[in-house]
């Protein structure tokens, strides 16, 4: 039986993970947060004291890395790095920078590509990231490119981090957003861009419920030919 596949791409802080999780729960899909995989590699590189842009050094570390994606009782994705649950630790601003830098490297992207594709073949998935519709799942049944103004994305991410008890300033988060936007869009390998057949959704003026309704409407229309009622 052919599996369902939904790709959601977009810049940091666009709401991809939050909306993908809600959609997965609503439609009974497996949610795959590919950014968490890159963050986990970034965390490992950081812990080992290797510079995030040292491509040779990062490549040497890859054979030491094992990654698993598990789901807890609430359906939340947990990322297991070498047997350790690092789901919470990978969300720090420092790890975000490392994730952005290592994700630009060909060896890292090749290391994770087959793992992501295997999940898309085995399960009905909604997968979010930077190159899902263009590289990982180019034949996805639905492709969405989610975006919003940088300042709005930074405010959303800042509020999330405060709610999670993290000590961070808005200026730090905005700097991180702008850095990652430039890094992700300018890299030579699998740059951040909308797939040709993707529907671009700018959520700058939408709240969460409005964004969710828009995403569901697109998915329903693309998969069944009927928009949300």
At residue 1, the pLDDT reads 47
At residue 228, the pLDDT reads 43
Q: Is the pLDDT of residue 229 over 50?
A: no
Q: Give pLDDT tens digits for 148-167.
A: 999 999 999 999 889 988 88
Percent of the chain with pLDDT over 70: 96
At residue 76, the pLDDT reads 75
At residue 101, the pLDDT reads 94
Q: So where are the chain's domains?
A: 5-224
Residue with tokens 């899902």: 132
At residue 42, the pLDDT reads 97
At residue 93, the pLDDT reads 85
Are 41 and 89 in contact by the 8 Å Cβ rule? The answer is no
Using 50, 70 and 90 to split pLDDT, how confident is the model at 2?
low
Torsion over CA of 148, 149, 153 and 159, rounded to 10 degrees? Answer: -120
Q: Give pLDDT tens digits for 32-53.
A: 888 899 999 999 999 999 999 9
pTM of the model: 0.81
d(CA 169, CA 196): 36
Residue of 54, 149, 64 whose CA lies nearest to 102: 54
Are 144 and 13 in contact by the 8 Å Cβ rule? The answer is no
Using 50, 70 and 90 to split pLDDT, how confident is the model at 203?
very high
Q: Which CATH number fits domain 5-224: 3.40.50.300, 3.20.20.70, 3.20.20.80, 3.30.365.10?
A: 3.40.50.300
SS3 50: coil
Are 229 and 213 in contact by the 8 Å Cβ rule? The answer is no
């Amino acid at each position: 039986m052919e599996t369902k596949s939904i790709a959601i791409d977009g810049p940091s802080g666009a709401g991809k993970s939050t909306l993908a999780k809600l959609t997965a729960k609503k439609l009974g899909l497996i949610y795959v947060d590919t950014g968490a995989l890159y963050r986990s590699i970034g965390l490992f590189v950081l812990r080992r004291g290797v510079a995030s842009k040292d491509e040779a050094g990062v490549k040497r570390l890859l054979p030491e890395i094992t990654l698993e994606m598990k789901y807890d009782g609430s359906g939340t994705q947990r990322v297991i790095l070498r047997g350790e649950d690092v789901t919470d630790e990978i969300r720090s601003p420092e790890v975000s920078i490392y994730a952005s830098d290592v994700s630009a490297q060909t060896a890292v992207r090749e290391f994770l590509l087959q793992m992501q594709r295997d999940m898309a073949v085995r399960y009905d998935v909604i997968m979010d990231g930077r190159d899902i519709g263009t590289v990982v799942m180019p034949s996805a049944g639905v492709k969405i490119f989610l975006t919003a103004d940088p300042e709005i994305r930074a405010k959303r991410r800042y509020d999330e981090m405060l709610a999670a008890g993290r000590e961070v300033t808005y200026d730090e988060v905005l700097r991180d957003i702008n850095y990652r936007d430039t890094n992700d869009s300018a890299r030579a390998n699998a740059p951040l861009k909308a797939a040709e057949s993707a529907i671009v959704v700018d959520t700058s003026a939408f709240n969460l419920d409005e964004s969710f309704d828009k995403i569901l409407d697109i998915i329903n229309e693309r998969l069944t030919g009927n928009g949300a009622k």
